[in-house]
Structure 1
């Protein structure tokens, strides 16, 4: 079974000998491979849609892993009991939805040892929420695949000081280890804000203050890009 780079990066962060739940599991690749390769003794594959969950169950059955991978139909963490798993994996979901699902299951979150999160958007919101939970980011990965740049976050419990505003956008660990793909991420963010600025400039109402705010974001990111090049 061959995983995409994005999913392989998330799988590589699963702590050996820990139980995981994969939320929005789709085909169930991560829990299946984690158990098949001896990384996890047990896993839970969760999906809100019956079709993908049935496909996951069939795939897991073919690998003769149904005694170790439980397939559950449900919304987020609602079908998981506190203490039932050590880590939760979210791959391919929107960041706002991930934060909502975490906020709806405080009892489960209080028993977790780690989170592995690969959001498709609103990543700065996810990072901010992690620190608001009194968790912190311990590892980050950038993965380029099929012309897309993906971010993978590994977070653990423990209070840390809030990040600088720009760190929520590019990632504190990405910056600390000077990930080779970080310039591409920064350029991507600058382009996003330039599109927003162009849209504001076309508005008929006075958008002076919002434009100033967007320009400030761009200036900070340009400065971070310059620092990256200086420190490399």
Structure 2
């Protein structure tokens, strides 16, 4: 089945031979695509809501993929048994929600080969959590679909924390590879930070607000990098 640009880019990061859990599968499009691809060993389609999962079951039945996909109702990684999969995909949620899913199951996540994450918001917070909790960022990509730019983050278990956390927060791999959408995306983030900064400036604490200096550092970092793109 044909996927949109966002899900297609996520699917491209699933390596041949992988055993995959699609957490928050929603309607099951990605899980069905991976199972039909022919080079993926096993797929779990998990979701915390029965409604979308029923739709996913119907799709999987219609495509004749019931022997290749296990559809499971449950919260986050609770649908996965230890060593059952080697790749986990979590897409279409906020970065903070992803952290809440991964935190109780960090031990399980450290036994995976790969995490493929597509946060709708909070990508920077998610990146920082990953590098501080035993994961290495191995690839990042921006994808445009229906006028919106989405971030995809690929992480693998590996110890060590990079020195420049500000660079990590804003996507040092996107910068390293000069992603073609990076300038536009960073300009969007900068505009948001500028709006936040103006709100802080007008607050009771003004420039003494604890977030004011932090935001200023982020804005200066982005402005400097954007000038080089």
| TM bin (shorter chain) | over 0.9
1:163 Cα deviation after fit: 4.8
Corresponding residue number in structure 1 for 2:158: 158
Distance in 1 of aligned mates of 2:214 and 2:127 = 21
Corresponding residue number in structure 1 for 2:206: 207
Corresponding residue number in structure 1 for 2:222: 221
Corresponding residue number in structure 1 for 2:46: 46
Corresponding residue number in structure 1 for 2:87: 87
Give secondary structure in 1 for the equivalent of 2:46: strand
Structure 1 range deviating more: 41-50 or 217-226: 217-226
Scaled by the length of structure 1, the TM-score of the pair is 0.93
Deviations, residues 166-193 of structure 1 (Å, cap 9, x unaligned): 3233212101111111101210111011
Distance in 1 of aligned mates of 2:206 and 2:104 = 37
Displacement over 4 Å in runs of 4+: none
Corresponding residue number in structure 1 for 2:18: 18
Q: Which stretches in structure 1 are left out of the alignment for 5+ residues?
A: none
Distance in 2 of aligned mates of 1:21 and 1:52 = 16
Change (3 A) 1:184 1:169: farther
Deviations, residues 34-72 of structure 1 (Å, cap 9, x unaligned): 111113121000000001000001101111111110000
Distance in 2 of aligned mates of 1:194 and 1:106 = 35
Distance in 2 of aligned mates of 1:39 and 1:137 = 24
1:198 Cα deviation after fit: 1.7
Deviations, residues 120-167 of structure 1 (Å, cap 9, x unaligned): 111111101111221111111101112211000111111233252332
Q: Which stretches in structure 2 are left out of the alignment for 5+ residues?
A: none
Distance in 1 of aligned mates of 2:51 and 2:70 = 16
Give secondary structure in 2 for the equivalent of 1:51: helix
What number of residue pairs does the alignment pair up?
227
1:213 Cα deviation after fit: 3.3
1:195 Cα deviation after fit: 0.7
